[in-house]
Structure 1
Amino acid sequence: MTATDRATELINAAAQAAADKLAHDIVAYDVSDVLAITDAFLLASAPNDRQVKGIVDEIEERLLKELGAKPARREGERDGRWVLLDYVDVVVHVQHSEERVFYALERLWKDCPQLDLPEDARATRGRDAEQQAARQGQGSQAAELDGELS
């Protein structure tokens, strides 16, 4: 089995919406061979809770407007650390960057084929790592400056 055309259409629209809201590390897996409940998973992350919620809202709005799709379930919105949108054919996971590292869903689905995504979504890969490196660099600079001022 492979993901249906409808699942691929939903995944691509959701991936583009996430990319438009500056999500990080967008990736999609065809899980149709290993799960009977859905065809594909989309994973995306963001560095803060507010951005997670913004990405989720944009995905939900875009899929409704462009494809007439409403999620059957929406979970995790209150905390904004990991929001799940279940569209039956696809499940979208938008996680805070820290949750993404901790739960490592990619590790669970690494044997499943990745789905091809729009260029904007593919360009987001590695953003979490870039942002963490930039934060560490800023922390080092602040520590050096603090040492110079002491």
Structure 2
Amino acid sequence: MKQRKNKEVSSQDLCQLVAKGMMEKKGQEVAILDLRKVKNAIADFFVICSGTSDTQIDAIADSVEHEVYKAVEENPWHKEGKTNREWILIDYVDVVAHVFKKDRRKYYDLEELWGDADLTLIEESAA
């Protein structure tokens, strides 16, 4: 079984850091799926957002990694999708970040697929 290195940071706190990283680069429609009450869930949280271009998706993914490392010095356990930049997945074991190109997000529809999870939408701050 895979385990996170920094167990002092709760999955809920880690989830907030991931969302912050997404918001830093203007990730759109940031959503948190709380999977803790979902039977056989593979993580505690999914944090999902959309981007409009390859460049933005790449920047969002880098920002997520930067925010998490800056706050808790934790690197992802696994990453994939950086090459084709349509869906970048960053796995922190208890928290999995999904950075989608807008049309790919609609296609995979994780929010519907994991419909039993509690869904929280993050409001964009007025800057």
Range into which the TM-score falls when normalised by the shorter chain: 0.7 to 0.9
Structure 2 residue aligned with 1:144? none
TM-score (norm 1): 0.72
Tell me whether 1:17 sits opposite 2:58 in the alignment: no
Once residues 118 and 24 of structure 2 are traced to their aligned partners in structure 1, the CA distance between those partners, rounded to angstroms, is: 24
SS in 2 for 1:63: helix
Structure 1 residue aligned with 2:78? 73
CA shift for structure 1 position 102? 1.0
Once residues 37 and 113 of structure 1 are traced to their aligned partners in structure 2, the CA distance between those partners, rounded to angstroms, is: 15
Counterpart amino acid of residue 65 in structure 2 = E
Which has the larger Rg?
Answer: 1
Q: How many residues are treated as equivalent by the alignment?
A: 116
Range with bigger deviation, 25-34 or 45-54:
25-34
Once residues 101 and 37 of structure 1 are traced to their aligned partners in structure 2, the CA distance between those partners, rounded to angstroms, is: 21
Q: Which has the higher strand share?
A: 2
Counterpart amino acid of residue 124 in structure 2 = A
CA-to-aligned-CA distance 1:2-57 (integer Å, 9 cap, x gap): xxx71111111111111110000000111123235311100011011110000000
Identity of aligned residues (%): 31
CA shift for structure 1 position 68? 1.5
Q: 1:92 aligns with which of 74, 97, 114?
A: 97
CA contact (8 A) 2:20 2:67 kept: no
CA contact (8 A) 2:49 2:98 kept: yes
Structure 1 outlier segments of 4+, above 3 Å: none
Once residues 37 and 104 of structure 1 are traced to their aligned partners in structure 2, the CA distance between those partners, rounded to angstroms, is: 17
CA-to-aligned-CA distance 1:86-137 (integer Å, 9 cap, x gap): 000100000000101111111112221125x7xxx4228xxxxxxxxxxxxx
CA RMSD after TM alignment: 1.6
Gaps of 5+ in 1: 125-150
